Amino acid sequence: MNEELNEVYHKCIEYSNKIKNPILREVVQTIYEDYKEELMNKPATPGSHHYFKGGLLCHIYSVTRNAIAICNLYPNLEVDMDLVIFGALTHDIGKTNDFNDFIESENYNPNASNSFALLGHSYEGAHIVENYLAKYQIDEQFKNQVVHMIGSHMNEYSEWGALVLPKMLEVIIINFADNIDAHIEPAHEIIRNAKAGELYKIGNAPRPYYKSLNPNYNKNNQN
């Protein structure tokens, strides 16, 4: 598992190398060095998605891959790929402060969250990134745009929500990339072990999930 996680970590570093702005590239790579242990050990969201050791890192990797894929599907958007990649790679960095490490024997226990959860991961992440950016000479408004990627990535005000609603195309892409991964992973986790007709639970929304009854169904996605 650790080998696999190391590979995912290096793929994230490869994505960070695509960032052209040297300050953003250096900041994300420094954050990845400083938070490596947390990224490799924390789950993404207990009770919702990627609840396993290193789930946070695996989720972040998939969101970055998804965000780049979305940009490739819409080549005329003229988005800033630096902001998309930087934002995707750091969007949930605040969860390193929000949640305890994954413990195999425990189901999610909200009381096991760190006290930082009082502030929420959007705030925590924006705060972390802003602190790293503060060491550089950088245009104030551009700095706000970078921090906006983290602070607004949840797209709406809610318990887990955003500090501010998205005001840039780049973070709208990150939000959709994030949602794709946060919904597909737990549904797949449930459905791959599903028995017909049983009720399974994702997060706070119990509902049944079904596998296709199509006689031509090919589980390898081959058409």
Residues that bind Fe ion (CB under 5 A): 92, 178
SS3 state at 194: coil
Minimal distance in Å, beta carbon 98 to Fe ion? 10
Question: 23 or 97, CB closer to Fe ion?
Answer: 97
Tokens of 9: 């970590």
Nearer to Fe ion, 135 or 188 (CB): 188
Q: Which is nearer to Fe ion, 92 or 185 (CB)?
A: 92
Which residue in 121, 134, 65 sits closest to 92, CA to CA? 121
Whichever of 163 and 194 has its CB closer to Fe ion, that residue is 163
Residue 201 DSSP SS3: strand
Closest contact distance (angstroms) between CB of 159 and Fe ion is 12
Minimum Å gap between C-beta 221 and Fe ion is 24
Give the pair of three-digit tokens for residue 57: 């890192």
Spatial contact of 194 and 188, defined as CB atoms under 8 Å apart: no
Helix/strand/coil for 164: coil
Phi then psi for 61, rounded to 5 degrees? -60, -50
Q: Least distance from C-beta 153 to Fe ion, angstroms?
A: 6
